[in-house]
Structures are given as C-alpha cells and as structure tokens.
C-alpha cells in the first residue's frame, strides 16, 4: 500500500517568513495530492491540491510543487501570518475512488 512521509513534524517561523513542508510517497500510481489545514479542535480543510499531470500550482500565498520522478511534493507558504498556525497534512491517492493516505502532519507555528 501507499506510504506517505512528511517532514518536519514541527516548524516554527517568524511572521512574514516563508514555510516549506515536504512529503514523499511510495506508490508510483498515486495521481492526486491534496493538502489539508487543521486548526486545533477543528475539521481538516482542503487548502490546495495538485494532480500528477501538473508540476506546480499556486493560490495566493500558497503553492504546491510535485516531482513525480522523485516521488515528492511540497507545500510552500509565503509571507506567513499568525493565522497560518495549524497542523498541515499532505496526502496521496490513486484511482477514481480518491482514497487518501495521509502524512503524520506538520505543526506550523507562526510567531508574531
């Protein structure tokens, strides 16, 4: 089955800095890679996703890059703000059922 590794487990940055979270996956058939943000006590919310036929996708301060050859993908947040503080999960899935395997999460702390 799919295995998704996520690093780092904790990331502490100053407001205005950039943050990068990296994930690797094992199944070369994986073709859909979502990222979720989960604030304390809240539900996971999709913030950005990328499909295997695309190398990069950007949405305002958030971007995701995918390297299929190396089987890794990354989340980039620029100009971080305190409200970006949360746990971020990457995931990978294959096929039409889109059943994801999640990473263990990265706790992002943005200091004002």
Interface residues toward other proteins, by CB under 8 A: 6, 32, 34, 36, 42-46, 49, 51, 89, 91, 93, 96-105
Structure tokens at 89: 């999960």
The size of the chain, in residues, is 112
Distance CA 106, CA 112 (A): 19
Q: What is the DSSP letter of 93?
A: B
Question: What is the number of other CB atoms lying within 10 angstroms of the CB of residue 5?
Answer: 13
Least spacing, CB of residue 34 vs other proteins, in Å: 7
Q: In this complex, which beta carbon is closest to other proteins, that of residue 29 or of residue 99?
A: 99
Least spacing, CB of residue 105 vs other proteins, in Å: 5
Q: In this complex, which beta carbon is closest to other proteins, that of residue 4 or of residue 77?
A: 4
């Amino acid at each position: 089955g799919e295995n998704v590794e996520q690093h780092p487990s904790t990331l502490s940055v100053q407001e205005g800095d950039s943050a990068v979270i990296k994930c690797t996956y094992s199944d070369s058939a994986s073709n859909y890679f979502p990222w979720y943000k989960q604030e304390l006590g809240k539900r996971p919310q999709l913030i950005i996703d990328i499909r295997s036929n695309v190398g990069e996708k950007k949405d305002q301060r958030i971007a995701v890059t995918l390297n299929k050859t190396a089987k890794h993908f990354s989340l980039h947040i620029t100009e971080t703000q305190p409200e970006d503080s949360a746990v971020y999960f990457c995931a990978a899935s294959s096929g039409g059922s889109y059943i994801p395997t999640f990473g263990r999460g990265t706790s992002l702390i943005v200091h004002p």
